[in-house]
Structure 1
Amino acid sequence: MNGNIVVVVGNPRPGSRTAAVARALGRRVAGDGEVRVIELAELAGELFDPASAGVAEAVDAVRGAAALVVASPTYKATYTGLLKAFLDRFAADALLGIPTVPLMVAGAPHHALAVETSLRPVLVEIGASMPTRGVFVLDADLTDPDAALEAWSTTYLPVLAPAVAARVAARARPVATEVTA
């Protein structure tokens, strides 16, 4: 796969283990393409400022992505308020056609469905395309982020690849213009 892959990390601590596993997933999705990581913790003070240039630039990067990874630790059985504040910047269908992989990290296996029952619906609401299941990783498995992603990658990267390739190809096509004589 190639194209620019954007990873959005909703952990309130920059450089978190959630960010590490999200970055690793972004590299897998990108293959030889470029990965851009947006740590929302670095924008936390600006998320409610409608004039924030930093947040506007992050929103533009997400809208222009070939694919997205959206990651959050599990807080109270759902994603963080920090991530919610950022996702609220997108109108319904604003991310239409962008292949997206939700990723959640939790301390206990009983939160495994949070990625599908809380994060996926909000991403679908803003138009993200979800060709695969989300990724759920236990805190205990974060000592080796690549190993934690192996089973998901083996099963789902072959499904995700055509969606990303189609997005990259669609963005590369010149816009047809009508010529009248």
Structure 2
Amino acid sequence: MTGASRVAVVVGNPQPASRTLKAAAYVATELSGHEPDLVVDLATTGPGLLDWADPDVDDLVSQVAAADLVVVATPTYKATYSGLLKLFLARFAPQHGTVLSEIGATVPVRGLYVLDSAHADPTAYDAWLATARPVVSALLTARLTTGVHA
């Protein structure tokens, strides 16, 4: 896959520098072939996430929206995603909704669930990566060569 793709990771775990963040960065690197260009650890955004006029959060939203590939990760709480992630994702324009599989939208690959006990084991990701990597690669190639979102 080309190194020209812009890759972002958004993590909604309320604990900063969490295992969820490490897992998401690993998945993004494995899918794209390079480290993420942007990692948004929402636990570190502070009260600005609650302020709809906060310029720093607006900048993060713009940077994520400009990415070619976004890996969104959150722990599951009571069968849903975290409030931090909800607050951040609510700022995106409706056309960006297609990236949000766990919120009911359509995405090109199924979601990835990793047990707490398996976060540090790269083999826990292998089967998912084997099916997701070719799909994501094809979509990124199409996006980078045509400029069209697939």
Range class of TM-score, shorter chain: 0.7 to 0.9
Tell whether 2:132 aligns with 1:153: no
Q: Which amino acid aligns with 1:170?
A: T
Shift of 1:171: 3.4
Among candidates 115, 137, 141, match of residue 165 of structure 1: 141
Moved over 3 A (4+): 32-35
Q: Does 1:49 align with 2:51?
A: yes
Where do 1:27-66 residues align within 5 Å?
Answer: 27-32=29-34, 34-66=36-68
- Any idea what SS the aligned residue of 2:9 has? strand
| 2:113 is the counterpart of 1:136 | yes
Aligned residue pairs total 146
Q: Which amino acid aligns with 1:149?
A: Y
Aligned to 1:112: none
Q: Distance in 2 between matches of 1:148 and 1:134?
A: 14
Q: Which has the higher strand share?
A: 1
Structure possessing the higher relative contact order (Cα contacts under 8 Å, 6 or more residues apart): 2
Q: In the alignment, which residue of structure 2 is the partner of 1:19?
A: 21
* TM-score, normalised by the number of residues in structure 1: 0.73
For residue 77 of structure 1, what is the aligned residue in structure 2? 79
Which runs of no fewer than 5 residues in structure 1 stay unpaired?
103-115, 173-181
Q: State the Cα distance separating 1:33 from its structure 2 match.
A: 6.4
Q: 1:165 to 1:55 in 2, by over 3 A?
A: same
What TM-score, normalized by structure 2, do the two folds share?
0.87
In structure 2, the gaps of 5 or more residues are none
Report the alpha carbon displacement of residue 120 of structure 1 after superposing the two structures with TM. Answer: 4.0
Q: Report the CA distance between 1:143 and its aligned residue.
A: 2.6
CA distance in 1, matches of 2:36, 2:23: 17
CA shift for structure 1 position 95: 5.3
1:153, distance to aligned residue in structure 2 (A): 0.6
Residue 65 of structure 1 deviates from its aligned partner by 0.5
Q: Contact 2:42/2:84 (CA < 8 Å) preserved in 1?
A: yes
Alpha-carbon displacement from aligned partner over 1:117-151 (angstroms, at most 9, x marks no partner):
xx241xx2xxxx6111111111111132x222111
Q: Helix, strand or coil: the match of 2:110?
A: coil
SS of aligned partner of 1:57 = helix
Whole-Å separation in 2 of the counterparts to 1:47 and 1:18: 19
Give the structure with higher Rg (CA).
Answer: 1
Letter aligned with residue 45 of structure 1: P
Residue 86 of structure 1 corresponds to: 88
Percent identity of equivalent pairs: 39
Residue of structure 2 in register with 1:106 after alignment:
none
More divergent stretch after superposition (150-159 vs 17-26): 150-159
